[in-house]
Chains A and B, each alone.
Chain A
Amino acid sequence: MTALPPPSAKKLGLVIDLDTCVGCHACVTACKGWNDQGYGAPLSDMEAYGSAPCGTFLNRVHSYEVQPEDAAPQIINFPRSCLHCDNAPCVTVCPTGASYKRAEDGIVLVNESACIGCGLCAWACPYGARELDAEAGVMKKCTLCVDRIYNDNLPEEDRVPACVRTCPTGARHFGDLGDPDSAVSRLVAERGGYDLMPEMETKPVNKYLPPRKKGAVEASPLAPLLDVQATGFAGWLDRLLEKF
């Protein structure tokens, strides 16, 4: 049923640290690698070795340049994927009931065997989180690796989304954002995590942590050691040589 369930107590989602992300695209690769072979239709590529390759991905990493008024410009790498919104417009527009939000943990999923590929859910999403697979004709989106996070066959450290597991800088965090005491919720509170495009009233679960404020370059702690003053005989020689 494409009616949204009442807000769940448990809200699984991601917290993405824009201060730490280096834009290596490892999360993109890990996501495609994992979701290519398990849950639902594989993520197809069209003309993968041709002149205009094009394919389905559930996660994309943009790079932006921000120019503050009074400081040097900054490069910020920006991973973009499904935000598993509480008020998900992609769910209610679906005519077949294929697009749904789970009542137990808030994950937004697509039942591919009911999807007719009309694309309306992708139109309804402000974040570009959904891509219609050109080969299978069904809508693909981030599943929060639902086939990993509850998978008892995997070692415990692997029971997180593939993108989180692979991130070499620890810029991606996974957890329950409905629990105010969870590690991710505390992180959001400490670092001022925010919603993307709040004016769209989608109430995203995923949060983004802003880049930390970059102040002026601090003096090195070793700086005093460099300021060597010669004393005694060396000092006398120093002063003497200055005179020539």
Chain B
Amino acid sequence: MHPAPSVVLFTVLSGMGFGLLALLGLGAAQPHGLAAFLHWGLGYGLAVGGLMASTFHLGNPQRALRAFTQWRTSWLSREGWAAVLTLLMLAPVALAAILGAVLPPFFGATGAVMALLTVYCTAMIYAQLRTVPRWNHWITPVLFLLFALTGGAILTGRSGFGVIMAILLGVALYWSFRRGDGAFAAKGATIGTATGLGALGEVRQFAPPHTGGNYLMKEMIYHVGRKHVSRLRIVAILCASLLPAAILLFVPPLPWVLAVAAAIHLVGAFAARWLFFAEAEHVVGLYYDAR
């Protein structure tokens, strides 16, 4: 799949933002005054910025409000609802923290659950697609949630929780790479089943249907840069998981330390998310004898 920069940016930034909002809602950090403004502002900024970035790849963004109508069937619609509800439900909690008031923990906790539901909905947009076997698995929502919780834990300075989440994230990333490599073959779709000609003999493309490119090939058949896959996988696991875990474990959680850990984590998260798209193979490539 084509790793559109807007979608990579959106999923990484809003994931981290909703992770931070979830942990703030749960009271993992309880800043007051200016510190509260900065913490909550960062959470809202990341979440909203990511959502805005996601509208850049739409063909007709002026109709984006219509995406709230189909929550009964569509994960994309559910994600929109969950995101808006999270931002609304946590707004009083954020305001109270900034103004020095205290709300019962129920408000923050329900907002936190909603924030994690938002991340789950984002992941399910990809995980629901049978056409992309690498994504079509429960590991996809697990990965997205672990990214959100690791990012949130680093930004709120919860070292212990952060180390556990970061290590779980590393394990999940490693396993998802390994599983993903065999996912397409395991699904059983081949050029033979795609054309139905497999029973007659070995099928190969003789002539493509068009000499130029088209939307399908640009969007779903992407192999540029796959040659760096193994190095990028190491970067992803090292930066997203192992280095932040080491920093949280051995360095006292001063603000600048957390900022460095978060920056390193983001590098890993971008590498992992770029791979998530670039490595994903869509079954439509079978018709073009290309993946």
Contacts and interface: CB of A to CB of B under 8 A. Distances in A.
A70 B68 CA distance: 57
A125 B131 contact: yes
Contacts of A67: 201-202, 204
Interface stretch (A51-59, A171-179, A223-231): A51-59
A149 interface: no
B286 to A, nearest CB: 8
B284 A128 contact: yes
Contacts of B80: 95
B103 interface: no
B201 A66 contact: yes
Interface string A57-87: 1001111111111010111101010000000
A199 interface: yes
A232 to B, nearest CB: 53
Interface string B181-201: 000000111010111110111
A95 B77 CA distance: 5
B222 to A, nearest CB: 13
A7 interface: no
A26 to B, nearest CB: 14
B282 interface: yes
Interface in A220-244: none
B128 A126 contact: no
Interface residues of B, number: 59
Nearest to A23: B207
A201 B205 CA distance: 25
Contacts of A128: 216, 220, 284, 287
A134 interface: yes
A22 B67 CA distance: 43
A121 to B, nearest CB: 10
B212 A52 contact: yes
B59 A137 contact: yes
B231 interface: no
Interface string A191-202: 000111111110
A66 B203 contact: yes
B189 A126 contact: yes
A97 B66 contact: yes
Contact of A118 (B58, B194, B204, B220): B58
Pick the 3 closest A-B CB pairs, nearest first: A117-B59, A137-B59, A68-B201
A2 B205 contact: no
Given A62-B287, A125-B131, A95 B203 contact: no
Contacts of A18: 197
Contact of B283 (A92, A114, A122, A200): A200
Interface string A108-143: 000000111111101111111001111011110000
B99 interface: no
A5 interface: no
Contact of A64 (B125, B193, B204, B220): B204
B57 interface: yes
Contact of B1 (A78, A97, A123, A211): A123
